[in-house]
Amino acid sequence: MKIVVIGGTGLVGSKLVHTLTERGQHAVAAAPSTGVNTITGAGLPEVMAGADVVVDVSNSPALDDTAIDFFRTATANLLAAEQAAGVRHHVALSVVGTAQLAAQSGYFQAKLLQEKMIGEGPIPFSIVHATQFFEFLDTLADSATVGQKVVLPPAYFQPMAVADVAEGVAIAALGEPVNGVAEIGGPEAVLLPELIRTALTAHGDRRTVVADPTAQYWGIDIGERTLVPGPGATLFDTRFEDWVLQAAARS
């Protein structure tokens, strides 16, 4: 089966291509560096030829309001190219809590628009909502840093390894379209400040982590469980402590 991975050279996409290839699929990494541009449409007809499934794990260059134009254009171009090529399943990676986060964030409004376009489009689809990645915890800490303090809301989240994200998306790509949303997450819900404190300690980072109910997540007010998947989510086994050890062994 030919599976085109849009964003296939990125963090998630490269692991997804590897995962699908290991399972005997013909996975094709599609990105501007491979001659495929979802904004201009360049290379789309060629890469879609003979494709059974298209998986979109691409992201906008900026995580602000400009993402709206990016996802609107890219998704429209993708769906049109897929329809012309007879693609039978469109899979997209999105974020747990997107609908709630969109109320205060241009980026998540863009993700919600992407999901709406896919849901109203001509291709049977599966949207995979993933929780935060372990690989982005340092970036999250930096975004919440004031001086030498990392100030975060005492909310729960359920982060996961990128390798598990790729596995979850691969499962969706190899299955039948659900024409809805499937959620994936890590093994357990933990308080955001507690895990960030553990992550910084693991790197020898001396910043102090402060739990503040008035603090925001990426500039967004969130509830206690906005970032946690709901009942029925597929949970993966990799714990943060195991991921840290695996990352250290690879370095």
Sign of CA dihedral 39, 45, 46, 49: positive
User: Which residue carries 């693609």 as its tokens?
Assistant: 87
pLDDT in tens, 215-233: 999 999 999 999 999 999 9
Spatial distance between the Cα atoms of 178 and 241, rounded to a whole number of angstroms = 33
Spatial distance between the Cα atoms of 51 and 79, rounded to a whole number of angstroms = 13
What pTM does this model have?
Answer: 0.95
Spatial distance between the Cα atoms of 141 and 167, rounded to a whole number of angstroms = 26
pLDDT in tens, 24-39: 999 999 999 999 999 9
Per-residue pLDDT band at 251 (split at 50, 70, 90):
low
